[in-house]
Chains A and B, each alone.
Chain A
Amino acid sequence: MNLLNISSPHATRSGNTGNVMLTVLLALIPGIITLSYFFGPGHLIQICIASATAIGCEALVLHLRKKPIGFYLKDYSALLTAVLLAISLPPYAPYWVTMVATLFAIVIAKHLYGGLGQNPFNPAMVGFALVLVSFPVEMTTSWSAPSALLENGIGVAQALEIIFSSRETIDAITMATPLDLYKNQVEIATASEIYQNPLFNGPNQEASIALGWQWVNVAFLLGGAFLLWKKIFTWHVPVSLLLSLSLLSIFIGWDSDSYVPISLHLFAGATMLGAFFIATDPVTASTTPLGKLIYGAGIGVLIYIIRTWGSYPDAVAFAVLLMNFAAPLIDQYSQPRTYGHKKAVRGLAKKD
C-alpha cells in the first residue's frame, strides 16, 4: 500500500488573501441589502465614493512606494476597508467626509505603517474615528430615519443631491439613532415612554427593539455566521465580545428605566458589524486563542462603557482601536503551550 507523504502545512484550501477578502465582502452583502432597504440608497452611494477613493489612494501610494500596483490591488484589502468604512458612516454624510476618512484610512493608517499586515490599527476604524472627532456635526446629523417612517421614502436623486450638493432637504429625512435617542431620553423618561417614539414602534406595531436596525444586525449576524462556517476566523472574538457586552447590559443595565436595555445593545447600532467584521480583522486583533477571548471581551466592555457613560453615539470604533493598542501585549502573555512542552512560555524570560 502506498501512503502519500505530504509535509505540513496540510492546507485544504488556498490561503490567498484576495479570496479571503472576497469572501468577507460576499458575507457583507445581506447586511448592505438590508441597510439599503431600511435606510435608502445612501449607503450604496457611500460605498461607491469610498471604494473609488480607496483604490485611487492605494494605487497612488503603491506607486510612491515602488510596489507592483496590480498585484497589491488584487488582494482587495483596500476595497474591503472602503466598504466597511462606508457602511459604518452615516448614510447621508457629505461626500467629502467619506473621502477624507478613506484617504486617512488607506494612506496614514495602512501604508505609512508598512501596508497590509503591518498596520497596528484597523484602518477603517481609524478613518471613522478621524471624521467622528473632526466633523461632529456632519457625523451626528446624517443618520436617516427608517424609510418606513418617511412619507415618500428616499429616492436615489434625493440621496445624491444631499450627499453631493445641498444639505437643505436633509432635515426632512434625518433622525437620531435609536441608541442615541434612548440614552438621551432615559434620564427624563421611563422605558415605556421612550418606546412610544416611532423609531421603536414602527408605524403600527408595539416593539421594544429598534425599527429597521434589528434586521440590519440580524443580516450582519448571518453574514458573520457564514464566515465562521467558512473558517475565515475563529469563534473566540465575536463570542467573547457579545458575551461580555450582554453580561454587562444584564447586570448593570437590568433596569431599562435607567439604562439602555440589552435588546438595543445587541440589535441597534453597529454591534454585529463590529463583532463579526471589524473586531475579527486578522492583522490588528490578538492571535492566540486565549488572547482572542481577552481581546473580544475587552472590546465588549469598552463598548458598554463608552455607550453608557461616554458622549459619542456609538462606541465600536473607539473600543476596537483601544484594544488594538493592547493586542501585542495580550499576545505576549497568552502564548499557548507548544506541543511537546509542559508549560507555555509567556512574556519575557525572568532575568536573575
Chain B
Amino acid sequence: MSTPTASKTLSTISKDGLWDNNPALVQLLGLCPLLAVTGTVVNAMGLALATMIVLVGSNMAVSMVRNFVPDAVRLPAFVMIIASYVTCTELLMQAYTYELYTVLGIFIPLIVTNCVILGRAEAFAAKNPIIPSAVDGLMMSLGFAVVLILLGALREIIGQGTLFSNMELLFGEQAIHWKIEIIKDYPNFLFAILPPGAFVGLGLLIAVKNVIDDKIKTRKQGQTQDVAAGSKRVRVTGKIS
C-alpha cells in the first residue's frame, strides 16, 4: 500500500488531470452531477468549485494518513474524510452563496459519491506524498471544472440564448450585469436545457477531444515516421529506436 510508485513529475500530473486522463472526458467519472447541473454557467461553476475544494482537501488528507490506515479499512476511512469535507463545503455554501446552494440542491451532498474523488484517493493519494497529491487533486478538479463550465456555457447558449446569466448567485451584487444576451427574443430550446441535451453535448465534447488527440498523434508520427522501426531492407541513415 504505502510503497510509493514511480513518482511522476508535477508537470505530468498536471497534464494527466487536465487532458490525458481528464476525469470527465476520458475516465467518464462523476457523470451524474456533470449531466444534471450543467444547465447554466453559474451552476456548473458552483459545482466545480465545491468539487475542487473537496478533491484537493481529501487528496491531501488521504495522503497524510496513508501510512497509518490499514488496507482492510481504507475505503471507510477515505469515505469518512471525503464526507467531512463535503459537509464543510455544504455549510460554507449555505453561509455564503445560499441561493446557489438551493439551486444545486441534492447535488452538493452527492459529491460524496462522486467517483472522481474516491477514485483519486484510492488511485493516487493513497500511494503518493502530500505535495503531488495536492497537485493531482487540483489538476483533476480543474480538468473537471473546465468540462463542466464548457458544457454549461454550451447548454446555456443553445438552450436560452444567454451567457453568464444569474452570476450574482456566486459573485454577489456586482455580477448582475454580467449577463450577455447573445440572441434577442430567443425561443427556449428545451432539449438543451433538459438532461438529454447534456448527454449529446458531452458526447460532442468527447468527439472534439478525440479529433484533437488524433491530429496530435498523426503530426507526431509524421515527424518521426521516416523509417518504421523493425522494417527490413531499408537503407538506414538515421537512428532507429
- The interface of chain A, by Cβ under 8 A from chain B, is 100, 108, 130, 133-136, 138
- Interface-facing stretch out of B32-40, B140-148, B184-192: B184-192
CA distance A236 to B79 in the complex (A): 57
CA distance A130 to B200 in the complex (A): 12
- Is there an interface contact between A134 and B200, defined as CB atoms closer than 8 Å? no
Digitize B171-194: 1 where CB-to-A-CB distance is under 8 Å, 0 elsewhere.
Answer: 000000000000000010111101
CA distance A130 to B194 in the complex (A): 11
B159, closest chain A residue (CB): A134
- Is there an interface contact between B200 and A133, defined as CB atoms closer than 8 Å? no
Chief secondary structure at chain B's binding surface: helix
CA distance A133 to B194 in the complex (A): 9
What residues of B have a CB within 8 angstroms of the CB of A138 in the complex?
Answer: 187
What residues of B have a CB within 8 angstroms of the CB of A100 in the complex?
Answer: 189
Digitize B181-220: 1 where CB-to-A-CB distance is under 8 Å, 0 elsewhere.
Answer: 0000001011110101000100000000000000000000
Most buried by B among A108, A130, A133, A134: A134
What residues of A have a CB within 8 angstroms of the CB of B200 in the complex?
Answer: 108
- Is there an interface contact between B187 and A133, defined as CB atoms closer than 8 Å? no
- Is there an interface contact between A135 and B194, defined as CB atoms closer than 8 Å? no
CA distance A138 to B189 in the complex (A): 11
A129, closest chain B residue (CB): B191
CA distance A157 to B190 in the complex (A): 31
The 5 closest A-B pairs by CB, nearest first: A134-B191, A134-B190, A134-B189, A130-B191, A133-B191
CA distance A130 to B191 in the complex (A): 7
CA distance A134 to B190 in the complex (A): 4
CA distance A100 to B159 in the complex (A): 13
CA distance A108 to B196 in the complex (A): 13
- Is there an interface contact between B187 and A136, defined as CB atoms closer than 8 Å? no
Digitize B108-151: 1 where CB-to-A-CB distance is under 8 Å, 0 elsewhere.
Answer: 00000000000000000000000000000000000000000000
What residues of A have a CB within 8 angstroms of the CB of B190 in the complex?
Answer: 133-136
CA distance A100 to B187 in the complex (A): 12
Q: How far is the CB of B198 from chain A (nearest CB, A)?
A: 14
Q: How far is the CB of B184 from chain A (nearest CB, A)?
A: 14
Q: How far is the CB of A107 from chain B (nearest CB, A)?
A: 11
What residues of B have a CB within 8 angstroms of the CB of A133 in the complex?
Answer: 190-191, 194, 196
A-B contacts, 16 listed (Cβ < 8 Å):
A100-B189, A108-B200, A130-B191, A133-B190, A133-B191, A133-B194, A133-B196, A134-B189, A134-B190, A134-B191, A134-B192, A135-B187, A135-B189, A135-B190, A136-B190, A138-B187
B197, closest chain A residue (CB): A134
What residues of B have a CB within 8 angstroms of the CB of A135 in the complex?
Answer: 187, 189-190
Q: How far is the CB of A335 from chain B (nearest CB, A)?
A: 33
Most buried by A among B187, B196, B200: B187
What residues of A have a CB within 8 angstroms of the CB of B196 in the complex?
Answer: 133
B194, closest chain A residue (CB): A133
CA distance A219 to B122 in the complex (A): 66
A-B contact sample (6 more), CB < 8 A, given A133-B191, A134-B191, A135-B190: A108-B200, A133-B190, A134-B190, A134-B192, A136-B190, A138-B187
CA distance A134 to B196 in the complex (A): 11
CA distance A135 to B191 in the complex (A): 9
